[in-house]
Structure 1
Amino acid sequence: MKIKLGLKFKMITMFLVCIYISMVLSGIIMRSFVKGNVDYTSRISNVNIKFIKELKKVSNKSNEINKVIEKYEKKYKENNLKIYIINNKEKILYKGSTSNEKSIDLEPLIDKQITLQDEIRYDGNGKGVYYSRISAVKVNNEVVNVLVKGNINPIKVDHFIDRHSGDIGSLLMIIIFIIIISIFIRPKLKYIKEICHGLNEVAKGNLKYRIREKGKDELQLIAFNINNMSEELERKIKNERKIEKSKQDLITNVAHDLRTPLTNIIGYVEIIKERGYKNKNELLKYIGIISNKSESLRKLTNDLFIYTKLSSGSITLNITRFSINELIEQVIDEYIDLFENNNLKLKEDLIDENIIINGDADKIARLFNNLFTNAIKYSIKPSDVNLKLIKEGEKVIISISNKCNSLEGEDINNLFERFYIADKSRSKDKNSSGLGLAISKTIAELHKGKLSADYKNGVITFVLEMKI
């Protein structure tokens, strides 16, 4: 089974994607919580308000006004700002110690303040802004202008999130990463649990259980192998049970098939020993029966021996290259008289091409001997037996057909079982061992071939397929 994308590749890709998504989301969330940390005017605005209030309370005496200016000049100086008190004629009446201008044109400053509706002009570099604020104050019935101006420095706002934004961002990214990767790997974890459940079912003996195969990765390959293992175990267990049953049937059938002729032989031997025969002709008859029964035993034991060796694999095939056409012609020559004596006519349909195969000629000849013997025993007489040999690609196909008594479908499936003989035929041939077709099928399989049977319209056909 081909794996398209390995689990390792998928996990690495998933890991990188989760890291990227967690970084993006944590950045978006942090930006939404972390406010602008630079403030330019909030503190100065509060100072301005207090400064103006105190100026309104003093009398128009320079020493009192200067005291108020001195009081607030320090705070303004910290922010790089200068203080001026100017009359309507733009004459500087009072100023701070750091203020050095002798005259100031208020009109541009007033216009800017009205236009911007703000008291700052941000220069955009984050290092400072130009600040000016003009306030009209009435001091002892005289209106004066209080001007505060200069390049104000930004003030850092000290929030908890701002102070720990790096740690909070890292922690947030880890939490998001865990959540996302948990979502991504959940199907895989669920599939692993499904595989574990399948293994438990197989361990309990439920070999029919099949794990769902999906993913085209190592997990799917594991599920595929477990399913194959279950199927193979189920097949082997069934085969073991079949073999065990076959062993029991073998013992039963051998005991049955040996007991009957042995009983007859022993019976007639006892008669001869006790001189229970009337005359010489009767004696010869009993001896003939004993001979026939002994021959049946010999054939049964011989077939059983051959079948056991073939099935166990202990037999060694003598593989040579030979002409299958010539081999069939030789077998036909041996059986042609038997066909005629049983009122059967063998019709041949063999191709002219000489077909050479690799195999054990003696074993293949025995296969055809069994098929011809089977046709002679169970054909309806008189009738024709058709033998056909053709070539299809890299295979040679030989078929033998003959008319026979009606067979049920289950008989066809069981014909190659050892000791199986169709009931209608058993009564006709007491000497059949029931191993002929089983031996033939085993020989075909040892040659990597196939022997099958088909019954249709009163005609049974055995088909042998072998590689050239």
Structure 2
Amino acid sequence: MKIKFTPFKWLGRIFPFNWIGDIFRFSFKMLIQGVNKVQESIRLQLIVTFVICLLVSMLTYSLSATFFDQYNKVARIDYTEGKAEIEREARSIVTRLQYKLSGISEDEVKPIIEDMVQYSSYKMLILSLDGKVLYKTPNTTETQVDVHHLISNAMNERIYNDNTSKEFISFFPIDLVSEKAYLVVSGIPRPQIEYDPGSSPIPLIAAVAAFIGLFYWLTKRKMKDVEELAQGLLEISKGNLDYRVPHKSSDELGSLADNINHMAKELQRTIEEERLAERTKNELITNVSHDLRTPLTLIIGYLRLLKDKNYENERQAETYLNIAASKSEKLKGLIDDLFEYTKLSNHGVSLAKERVCLNELIEQLLEETVSYAEENELVLERHLPAEKLMAHIDADKIIRVFENLLTNAIKYSSKPGVVSVRLTREEGYAHICVINNGDPIPEDELDKLFERFYRIDASRTSSTGGSGLGLAIAKSIVENHDGKIWAETVGREIRFCVRLELIDS
């Protein structure tokens, strides 16, 4: 679920400067957008999860290493600080000896060194350039020193940093009044105990365990979603198309769940359509067999009578022959209607569309139907607009639609009575309604009127001359024109309406 960002109006009251509030609002908005982006992407979720686990494992390693290193620390003797102390002692003496720019006399050197000796046990020498001892502390016995060897030892000590208890020597050049000299301070460096951290594999093991455990815990719910998707696919593959995978996230897994559900829905719809098509095919075969068998049985019966000369006179034979011929024509009409419906349903008929005036087409059709209406004691009323309504249609096919509607209206109207035809324009479409009064049609059966071979009651059977395909053929023709046909009833008034798209006059 996404977090919706709502600006905080009270920030201006908290912060004295607007720009501080703006920075806070902008930062908060960027944070929310970032959270939403992470929620929408598994890749970003894995990256964030990996970073969090890595940081926690590093913190775990640091804390455990601190604890275990202190617990396993190793003691060692270190002389570094003792050597540094000797070095500082020598520098301190040099600083005091060289406060005069013109040099210092030997008499001035002795009090300084003696003063330093009171606080130190180190050996101190003042050497001439050739190594002669000019002054020394009481704890020193040398009278002559090899300066070259002394410098070599001191340099080796500094280069190799030998951390042992050997004597450490520090020397500095000084300026006496009479000559150049060296100050040499030496002694055994004071030892100091240092503790080195010990090594242990436990911090690394703890860090790896923390990473794996936290990664498993953070990805547990997502893996559960994946398992549910897999289980859903397995369930659908077994044929349970009513099963739906739960939608739990807005990332790619959520989209996958939606696609799986859509796939199951479409498969279910396709299978239902195939079942309906199979059932419809079976019903069609049954209905066609029934409607073809009735006239065919009569034809065969009368032809057999004629063949066996089972008639009393020529007049009766002629009657049998006329009945057989009439039933043959009816049988031919039924077969023609069936072929026509099949072609229209499978879009096997190409429409010869042309620009046609609906006013004139309906007017002409009504003129041709007047005599048939009068024979049935009906009056045809027309309500046509003065404006010419033009449509791009196949005139012959549309005429067949209205002929069927008018014929049905006349055939099933209450006699005497009126049949009305109304043509109106509504939002770029032409609405044509054929209206008659007759027995009310139940609301739930209005849509079934356009199904093939459907008849409401026994009064509308093949004995009335209908094939049961007229309205089904009319519906197919109208739908092939991207139009719509429907029936509605108000009391005893029955309306069959057609909607066709108009074109500019």
TM over 0.5: yes
Match of 2:454 among 414, 420, 439: 420
Compared CA separation, residues 183 and 246, structure 1 to 2 (3 A): same
How many Å apart are 1:300 and its aligned residue? 0.7
Match of 1:305 among 333, 339, 342: 339
Amino acid at match of 1:157: Y
Q: Distance in 1 between matches of 2:221 and 2:429?
A: 50
Q: Distance in 2 between matches of 1:37 and 1:238?
A: 72
CA contact (8 A) 1:347 1:385 kept: yes
Count of matched residue pairs: 377
Q: Which residue of 2 aligns with 1:465?
A: 499
Q: Deviations over 1:264-307 (max 9, x none)?
A: 22323333444444455544433332232122112111111111
Amino acid at match of 1:158: D
Q: Which residue of 2 aligns with 1:157?
A: 195
Structure 1's unaligned 5+ residue stretches are 48-73, 84-89, 103-150
Q: Deviations over 1:36-57 (max 9, x none)?
A: 989xxxx99xx9xxxxxxxxxx
How many Å apart are 1:173 and its aligned residue? 4.9
TM-score (norm 2): 0.64
Residues 1:96 and 2:115 are matched in the alignment: no
Secondary structure, in 3 states, of the residue corresponding to 1:253?
A: helix
Amino acid at match of 1:301: I
Residues 1:363 and 2:397 are matched in the alignment: yes
Residues 1:258 and 2:292 are matched in the alignment: yes
Compared CA separation, residues 264 and 297, structure 1 to 2 (3 A): same
Q: Distance in 2 between matches of 1:6 and 1:444?
A: 50
In the TM superposition, what are the counterparts of 1:176-325 in structure 2 within 5 Å? 176-279=210-313, 281-325=315-359
Compared CA separation, residues 23 and 243, structure 1 to 2 (3 A): closer
Compared CA separation, residues 331 and 229, structure 1 to 2 (3 A): farther
Residues 1:432 and 2:438 are matched in the alignment: no
Q: Distance in 2 between matches of 1:189 and 1:329?
A: 72
Structure 2's unaligned 5+ residue stretches are 1-32, 90-114, 126-136, 138-188
Compared CA separation, residues 94 and 441, structure 1 to 2 (3 A): closer
Q: Distance in 2 between matches of 1:157 and 1:351?
A: 110
CA contact (8 A) 1:213 1:224 kept: yes
Match of 1:400 among 434, 440, 443: 434
How many Å apart are 1:459 and its aligned residue? 3.0
In the TM superposition, what are the counterparts of 1:15-94 in structure 2 within 5 Å? 15-33=46-64, 34=66, 77=82, 80=85
Residues 1:343 and 2:343 are matched in the alignment: no
Q: Quick check: 26-35 or 235-244, which moved more?
A: 26-35
Amino acid at match of 1:296: K
Secondary structure, in 3 states, of the residue corresponding to 2:411?
A: helix
CA contact (8 A) 1:26 1:169 kept: no
CA contact (8 A) 2:381 2:421 kept: yes
Compared CA separation, residues 247 and 347, structure 1 to 2 (3 A): same
Amino acid at match of 2:445: D
Amino acid at match of 1:97: Y
Q: Deviations over 1:291-330 (max 9, x none)?
A: 3212211211111111121122222221222222322222
Residues 1:446 and 2:480 are matched in the alignment: yes
How many Å apart are 1:230 and its aligned residue? 1.8
Amino acid at match of 1:336: V
Q: Deviations over 1:364-404 (max 9, x none)?
A: 11111111122122222223323222223233222222223
Q: Which residue of 2 aligns with 1:51?
A: none
How many Å apart are 1:193 and its aligned residue? 1.7
How many Å apart are 1:467 and its aligned residue? 2.7
Secondary structure, in 3 states, of the residue corresponding to 2:499?
A: strand
Q: Which residue of 2 aligns with 1:11?
A: 42
How many Å apart are 1:435 and its aligned residue? 0.4
Compared CA separation, residues 26 and 331, structure 1 to 2 (3 A): same
Secondary structure, in 3 states, of the residue corresponding to 1:415?
A: helix
Q: Distance in 2 between matches of 1:428 and 1:37?
A: 103
Q: Which residue of 2 aligns with 1:120?
A: none
Q: Deviations over 1:126-145 (max 9, x none)?
A: xxxxxxxxxxxxxxxxxxxx
Q: Deviations over 1:151-170 (max 9, x none)?
A: 9998652233xx46xx8766
Q: Distance in 1 between matches of 2:395 and 2:458?
A: 33
Amino acid at match of 1:197: Q
Q: Distance in 1 between matches of 2:254 and 2:119?
A: 89
Q: Distance in 2 between matches of 1:75 and 1:207?
A: 81
